[in-house]
């Protein structure tokens, strides 16, 4: 089981919403637009978990670090 820390950042005006995906040691794995996660998730090897991650991202609040466990 892998632990990931996720921070959803709300954009302003023309700046879109972004997501930081970090590992258990808080090392940055991916930084991507909320509406375009595909390429970043493929690069870090989580493309098969995309539906679960996107469901989680849509449910969490902006600006608070949340923990996600993936098996």
Reduce the DSSP state of residue 41 to 3 states and report it. Answer: helix
* Residue 1, pLDDT score: 87
Q: What is the pLDDT of residues 24-59, one digit of tens each?
A: 999 999 999 999 999 999 999 999 999 999 999 999
The structure's pTM equals 0.90
Cα separation, 17 vs 26, in Å, equals: 20
C-alpha closest to that of 18 among 5, 41, 35, 42? 35
**34 within 8 A of 20, measured Cβ to Cβ:** no
Cα separation, 48 vs 34, in Å, equals: 17
- pLDDT at residue 5 above 90? yes
């Amino acid at each position: 089981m892998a632990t990931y820390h996720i921070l959803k950042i709300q954009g302003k005006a023309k700046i879109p919403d972004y997501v930081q995906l970090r590992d258990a040691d808080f090392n940055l794995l991916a930084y991507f637009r909320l509406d375009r996660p595909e390429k970043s998730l493929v690069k870090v090897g989580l493309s098969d978990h995309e539906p679960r991650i996107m469901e989680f991202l849509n449910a969490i609040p902006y600006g608070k670090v949340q923990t996600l466990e993936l098996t």
